[in-house]
């Protein structure tokens, strides 16, 4: 995958929409949870490409579905966490929207906290899915 910097999250969404359009026929018969996993894999690969020092683990239970219309992009397991943790992830999502994913990843990498990295990955995936659903791209 290319290593260009996107200006903001909107450009990431547009790139993902193009990718989905290319795979439209193949995705027609795919159940929603497989589409969610496709977006999760794309997000993981994109993060690890833009910030090679970051490695994504698995923090959410495999049975947890990505909500279709959550009030925020935070995964449910984060709701039980300290408010400061939630704020960090929300701020990173906002930063990726305003200044780009690379900028947010630079900040995230400075934390050196695997839990935050995984939580950001999940929240970013949720955010991308929300936007793609709004646009009827998936």
Cut 0.85: pTM above it: no
Predicted confidence at residue 120, as pLDDT, reads 93
Mean pLDDT for all residues in the chain? 81
For the stretch 129-134, contacts whose Cβ atoms lie closer than 8 Å and that sit 24 or more positions apart, written own/partner, are 129/36, 129/39, 129/66, 130/69, 130/70, 130/73, 131/13, 132/13, 132/16, 132/17, 132/20, 132/39, 133/68
Predicted confidence at residue 69, as pLDDT, reads 45
Dump pLDDT digits (tens) for 62-110: 445 555 445 677 888 888 888 999 999 999 999 998 998 999 999 999 9
């Amino acid at each position: 995958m290319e290593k260009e910097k996107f200006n903001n999250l909107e450009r990431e969404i547009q790139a993902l929409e193009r990718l989905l359009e290319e795979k439209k026929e193949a995705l027609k018969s795919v159940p929603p949870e497989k589409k969610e996993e496709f977006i999760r894999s794309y997000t993981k690969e994109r993060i690890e490409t833009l910030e090679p020092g970051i490695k994504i683990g698995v923090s959410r239970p495999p049975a947890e579905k990505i909500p279709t219309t959550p009030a925020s992009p935070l995964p449910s397991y984060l709701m039980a966490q300290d408010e400061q943790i939630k704020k960090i992830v929300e701020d990173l999502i906002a930063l990726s929207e305003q200044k780009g994913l690379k900028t947010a990843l630079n900040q995230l990498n400075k934390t050196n906290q695997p839990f935050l990295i995984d939580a950001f990955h999940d929240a970013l995936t949720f955010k991308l899915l929300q936007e793609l659903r709004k646009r009827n791209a998936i």
